[in-house]
Amino acid sequence: MTSTPTDLPAALESGLRDYLAHLRVERGLSTNTVEAYRRDLTRYADFLGVRGRTAPAEVTEADVEAYLDAVRAGDDGGRPLSASSTARALAALRGWHRFALAEGDADTDPSADVAAPTKTRRLPHALSVDAVARLLAAASAGDGATGLRDRALLELLYSTGGRISEVVGLDVDDVGTEDAVRLFGKGGKERVVPVGSYARDAIDAYLVRARPALVEAGSVRGRSTPALFLNARGTRLSRQSAWAVLQRAADRAGIAEHVSPHTLRHSFATHLLAGGADVRVVQELLGHASVTTTQIYTMVTPEALREVYAAAHPRALG
């Protein structure tokens, strides 16, 4: 017996349930195969719910493309997928959309023209410094506990270039009183990363004015946690919830392009390199084992080349 999430919009939940029943009953797929479809499509439906989609008919091609980008990087709260696994996920969601179209639950198939991913993952576009400032300002909607938490979370992501799993995995003791934070990367490897004044101030405000209220919400149920970032139940904020925080801030900031936690990490590296930081310093800050991984951030755009040429070459300007 398969199941679907209970916290999805009703039309998404019923549409997914109907499709899984179709696979099991009408197409006669095995229990294991249907279960694999359920896992892939539940992740997809959760992603659509975060983006505010309430029914299959509301899904756009941009939603499908954003989902594929998110699962490749693990920015939706799940584990990152390889190119082949992402292609499998695309095949699963295409089947659902074709079914919705055939059943009259949608007028178009938003997945029809989406290409399967190649083995080389495209890096997310770096936000401009101004766009990052607007995003961070939009994070704190009011002075409530969650607003202060959201601002501290996004400030810390951008200030350190940390992976979303590293930042939501922080405990209060990892922050300390110094202007630095201990991040634990892949394989449990620890690194100490400086924290800028904006992020430090946001964290201090959260710790003093917001976290105690969230702790109190958890203590009602007899729970306590050393986690730095807490949800409304007083337990550790999940990767998916942190991703949703970023999405809401991007929407409020009027940023039309797809923004993920990895976008902030990419922006962090790009802005440092543009400001003159050495690539090996950025390598250490990002926690890359090899500088080769970091060097992909040094790709120069044609616009940047023209700007440097115009400013530096003695005969560039008439």
pLDDT for 30 equals 87
Report the candidate in 81, 127, 85, 84 with the shortest Cα–Cα distance to residue 261: 127
Distance CA 253, CA 27 (A): 45
Whether residue 288 lies in the annotated active site: yes
Q: Which of 51, 200, 262, 266 is catalytic?
A: 262
Distance CA 157, CA 155 (A): 6
Distance CA 296, CA 270 (A): 10
How would residue 1 be classed by pLDDT, with cut points 50, 70 and 90? very low
Copy the structure tokens of residue 294: 């970091």
Q: Which of 27, 79, 186, 233 is catalytic?
A: 186
Copy the structure tokens of residue 130: 């101004």
N residues, the chain: 318
Q: Which of 200, 236, 265, 266 is catalytic?
A: 265
How would residue 318 be classed by pLDDT, with cut points 50, 70 and 90? low
Averaged over 185-214, what is the pLDDT? 88
Residue type, 178: E
CATH number of this structure's domain 129-298:
1.10.443.10
| Residue 133 reports pLDDT greater than 60 | yes
Whether residue 262 lies in the annotated active site: yes
Whether residue 265 lies in the annotated active site: yes
Q: Which of 163, 211, 239, 266 is catalytic?
A: 163
pLDDT for 4 equals 45
Burial class (CB in 10 A: 0-12, 13-18, 19+), 230: buried
Q: Which of 200, 258, 266, 288 is catalytic?
A: 288
| Residue 109 reports pLDDT greater than 90 | yes
Whether residue 297 lies in the annotated active site: yes
Which residues of the chain form CATH 1.10.443.10? 129-298
- Tens of pLDDT, residues 239-258: 889 989 999 999 999 998 88
- Tens of pLDDT, residues 12-31: 999 999 999 999 999 888 88
CATH number of this structure's domain 10-102:
1.10.150
Which residues of the chain form CATH 1.10.150? 10-102
Whether residue 258 lies in the annotated active site: no
